Amino acid sequence: PLRLDIKRKLTARSDRVKSVDLHPTEPWMLASLYNGSVCVWNHETQVNKHSSSLMLTTCTMKINNSKRNLYLWDWEKKWSCSQVFEGHTHYVMQIVINPKDNNQFASASLDRTIKVWQLGSSSPNFTLEGHEKGVNCIDYYSGGDKPYLISGADDRLVKIWDYQNKTCVQTLEGHAQNVSCVSFHPELPIIITGSEDGTVRIWHSSTYRLESTLNYGMERVWCVCGLRGSNNVALGYDEGSIIIKLGREEPAMSMDTSGKIIWAKHSEVQQANLKAMGDTEIKDGERLPLAVKDMGSCEIYPQTIQHNPNGRFVVVCGDGEYIIYTAMALRNKSFGSAQEFVWAHDSSEYAIRESNSVVKIFKNFKEKKSFKPDFGAEGIYGGFLLGVRSVNGLAFYDWENTELIRRIEIQPKHIFWSDSGELVCIATEDSFFILRYLSEKVAASQENNEGVTEDGIEDAFEVCGEIQEVVKTGLWVGDCFIYTSSVNRLNYFVGGEIVTIAHLDRTMYLLGYIPKDDRLYLGDKELNIVSYSLLVSVLEYQTAVMRRDFGMADKVLPTIPKEQRTRVAHFLEKQGFKQQALAVSSDSEHRFELALQLGELKIAYQLAVEAESEQKWKQLAELAISKCQFSLAQECLHHAQDYGGLLLLATASGNAAMVGKLAEGAERDGKNNVAFMTYFLQGK
Ligand SMILES: *[C@@H]1O[C@H](CO)[C@@H](O)[C@H](O)[C@H]1NC(C)=O
Ligand SMILES: *[C@@H]1O[C@H](CO)[C@@H](O)[C@H](O)[C@H]1NC(C)=O
Ligand SMILES: *[C@@H]1O[C@H](CO)[C@@H](O)[C@H](O)[C@H]1NC(C)=O
Ligand SMILES: *[C@@H]1O[C@H](CO)[C@@H](O)[C@H](O)[C@H]1NC(C)=O
Ligand SMILES: *[C@@H]1O[C@H](CO)[C@@H](O)[C@H](O)[C@H]1NC(C)=O
Ligand SMILES: *[C@@H]1O[C@H](CO)[C@@H](O)[C@H](O)[C@H]1NC(C)=O
């Protein structure tokens, strides 16, 4: 199936709707009602913008058969009638102009025929007969490849006609009442039909398979309108109008490691290359000015496109089929039927899910193994191990011999493996888990057969963390897991910490990371590409820290720009490496905090001198007292002008000279309470 997602965007109750139209640029729907009113709805704000009664000036036809004839009106000549087309013997219900030839049009009539006309000729060019009752509606196919017309009639049938050889090529059966509207979608490979049975049916425009039946309980359907370049479809009913959104939310796009992006615009495949931008300056979150190259059209309607790990091939999936193409020239290399397709970590391997029970593994485009996972196969996941989802959970298999590695009680949505195969993220409906794959333990268990249960190898994985966030798309750079979340944040996770790179203003899908550019690339469903800077040196440093490899971390540090040092220092601090954080940070506030926490009096003193802040002197004084560094404490309290503190220090240490000095200072500064106390204590 096409697996189109269908979402209702607007429901507008009103009197019977006889015609709907979508504005080409504004989010507006125009509906004309049987009672003579027209309404404009804004389908983004759901507001009825405007409604008014039309003053219709009806041209009174003093001509016989006015309802059977067609009239051409010239608006440049004050709407005079410039031509009459005669031929139908009953009411004419609809006409449509051929989008490929504006001099030709077709008409549908209750006389059970469809007639095709040429402007300039008053008699029909030809007649299509086949419906057994009146024909209500008609539409031309606008795609380039087929000379087709579609019609719907009171015989409850929908017919597709080849108007060149004038034959009916297909009859669509299913509606339980008169068919009132038909439409070839201007872009999606679908036919939409509406009927007095209250349903809207969606059919595949090449296979003619019924994809979906929609019943919104608004009584009879009267009209349908699709729009080029949009996934919105407007429907008119007895009780109002509805806008539905058709199509896949996630765009079919993929980027290889060198920055070549391939995407599908409906069935057309296009390519853009990041390298071709040259030295154009790029700002975070800004749409990239990419030159787009057409690569031809795909034989299936692509729902996903995915490069293999080395980027030489792309697989296009959709409609229960897959086609593997060369990424450069889009030449097909292999194809077949599959519910799902995943690439292995090894670029020459892939797996397909043939049905809910059979999974097949291919190597070098040849079938290597077909197997039936124990609890069925509801979904498969590629990468380092082959993941198979069933109602019981997730099972990981070895690509080589399809041996069970580990069964995990989880219902994954996505699985992302790091390049090294050491880390894996399993994302579910509401959270994600980071696991470490312990390949040595797996190898040992396989060797001596210890620790192996019916759920596989017990020690195969170790849980590193669970985070209550919904991952939409993700990828690994070293040991950092970068992802977009359901609340449109672009984050990365490293060592138990989540760092937010950006707040996105719309849903974006991660395409990849190019280390050379220090940038992360994302696309949206309108196929815009944006990027965000993310320094590879920072990621490398953080990865080294997480591995406790401080030798490596020290080597990477000089490559991190100064302005990023503090961010890195905060990361170190959160990991508990305060000493390292103090050494790395370039923010004096942060360094002072760290120095206090570490009890580094000298560094803290230096920073307090530089900052000349009373607050800092007070904090340092407290630390000095706790460390019994009384002379330092005294100096700090002086700088902080903390007479209370000085009094406490002087009296507690029984330092009469200090009390004497304090008395003078306090009196001079008008600190009368302290001055009184000090004189009193001295018996003065
Ligand atoms: C027609 O119906 C619409 C909505 O149902 C209503 O707002 C409008 O007043 C009606 N117009 C007439 C002329 O009855
Ligand atoms: C309309 O048809 C009637 C009967 O067929 C005929 O008598 C009359 O002249 C026609 N009127 C016109 C305007 O053609
Ligand atoms: C129909 O139109 C085509 C041109 O579009 C013309 O060649 C042909 O002669 C016409 N046939 C009739 C019966 O008028
Ligand atoms: C007419 O053309 C269609 C393809 O559009 C083909 O399937 C059909 O067989 C043709 N019919 C005749 C009678 O040539
Ligand atoms: C379907 O059309 C017929 C005329 O062909 C009409 O009599 C009938 O009432 C229509 N059905 C519905 C449900 O309106
Ligand atoms: C694959 O390519 C061949 C040769 O160009 C073509 O005949 C065939 O239809 C293609 N098949 C698919 C599924 O794209």
pLDDT tens profile 651-675: 888 888 888 888 888 899 888 999 9
Specify the range with the lowest mean pLDDT, choosing from 85-94, 102-111, 124-133, 546-555: 546-555
Mean pLDDT of 139-167: 94
Distance, CA of 283 to CA of 528 (rounded, Å):
14
Nearest to 308 by CA among 290, 326, 282: 326
| Chain-centre distance for alpha carbon 541 | 29
Distances (CA, A) of 648 to 605, 658, 681: 21, 11, 12
pLDDT digits (tens, 9 = 90+) for 40-56: 998 887 777 666 654 44
Among 141, 146, 150, 162, which residue has the most ligand 4 atoms within 8 Å of its CB, making it the best to mutate? 162
Q: What percent of the chain has pLDDT over 70?
A: 97
Percentage of the chain beyond pLDDT 90 is 64
| pLDDT at residue number 56 | 46
Mean pLDDT of the chain: 91
The pLDDT assigned to 362 comes to 97
Separation between Cα atoms, residue 538 and residue 544, nearest integer Å? 10
Compute, in angstroms, the gap from residue 332 CA to the centroid of ligand 6: 6
Report the pLDDT value the prediction gives residue 50, as an integer from 0 to 100: 62
pLDDT at 296: 87
465 CA to centre of ligand 4 in angstroms: 62
Residue 58 has pLDDT above 60, yes or no: no
Model-wide pTM > 0.75: no
What pLDDT, on the 0 to 100 scale, is given for residue 169? 97
* Among the ranges given (33-47, 316-330, 357-371, 410-424), the one the predictor scored with the smallest mean pLDDT: 33-47
The position carrying tokens 């401080």 is 550
197 within 8 A of 175, measured Cβ to Cβ = yes
Contacts with 493 (C-beta within 8 Å, 6 or more apart), sequence order: 434, 465, 467, 480, 481, 482, 483, 499
Whats the size of the chain, residue-wise? 684
Render pLDDT for 1-26 as a digit per residue (tens, 0 to 9). 677 778 899 999 999 999 999 998 88
> pLDDT at residue 263 above 90?
yes
445, 436 Cβ separation under 8 angstroms:
no
Paired strand residues for 38:
32, 52
Task: Return the number of other C-beta atoms located less than 10 Å from residue 167's C-beta.
Answer: 11
496 alpha carbon, distance to own chain's centre: 24
The closest of 642, 563, 557, 585 to 593, measured between CA atoms, is 585
Please give the distance, rounded to the nearest whole angstrom, from the Cα atom of residue 156 to the centre of ligand 5: 10
Q: What is the spatial distance between Cα 370 and Cα 230, in angstroms, rounded to a whole number?
A: 41
H helix count then E strand count, the chain: 12, 51
The number of CA neighbours under 13 Å toward the Cβ of 27 is 12
| Amino acid occupying residue 461 | F
- Is the pLDDT at 513 greater than 90? The verdict is yes
Q: Which residue has the higher pLDDT, 424 or 583?
A: 424
User: Mutate which of 163, 165, 205 to test ligand 4's pocket (most atoms within 8 Å of Cβ)?
Assistant: 165
CA distances from 168 to 13, 149, 163, 181 (A): 37, 9, 9, 18
Measured CA to CA, the distance from residue 44 to residue 97 in angstroms comes to 31
> What is the C-alpha separation between 274 and 302, in angstroms, rounded?
23
Q: What is the mean pLDDT of residues 596-604?
A: 92
Whether ligand 2 lies within 6 angstroms of the CB of 64 is answered as yes
Of ligand 2's listed atoms, the one at least distance from the Cα of 62 is 13
Closest-lying ligand to the alpha carbon of 238? Answer: 1
Could you give the CA distance from residue 433 to residue 465 in angstroms, rounded to a whole number?
A: 6
Question: Is residue 351 a contact partner of residue 360, using CB atoms and an 8 Å limit?
Answer: yes
Does 274 have pLDDT greater than 70? yes
Average pLDDT, integer, range 222-226: 96
Ligand 6 pocket: which residues have CB below 6 Å? 299, 323, 332, 335
Higher-confidence residue of 262 and 300: namely 262
| Nearest ligand to the C-alpha atom of residue 160 | 4
CA–CA distance, 444 with 630 (Å, rounded to integer): 60
Give pLDDT tens digits for 275-303. Answer: 888 888 889 999 999 999 999 888 888 88
Confidence of residue 306 (pLDDT cuts 50, 70, 90): very high
Give the pLDDT score at 469. Answer: 94
Higher-pLDDT residue of 414 and 562 is 414
DSSP conformational letter for 344:
B
Q: What is the dihedral of CA 571, 575, 580, 582, to 10 degrees?
A: 60
Pair 2, 203: CB distance under 8 Å: no
Q: pLDDT at position 57, please? A: 44
Query: Distance from the CA of 148 to the center of ligand 4, in angstroms?
Result: 11
Tell how strand 232-237 and strand 240-247 pair up: antiparallel
Running DSSP on this structure, what letter comes out for residue 276? G
What's the rounded mean pLDDT across residues 604-617?
Answer: 90
Does ligand 5 lie within 6 Å of residue 348's CB atom? Answer: no
Nearest-atom number in ligand 3 for the CA of 104 is: 5
Give the pLDDT band (50/70/90) at residue 64: low
Confidence (pLDDT) at 313:
97
Strand, coil or helix: what is 257? coil
Read off the pLDDT of each residue in 409-426 and give the average, rounded to a whole number. Answer: 96
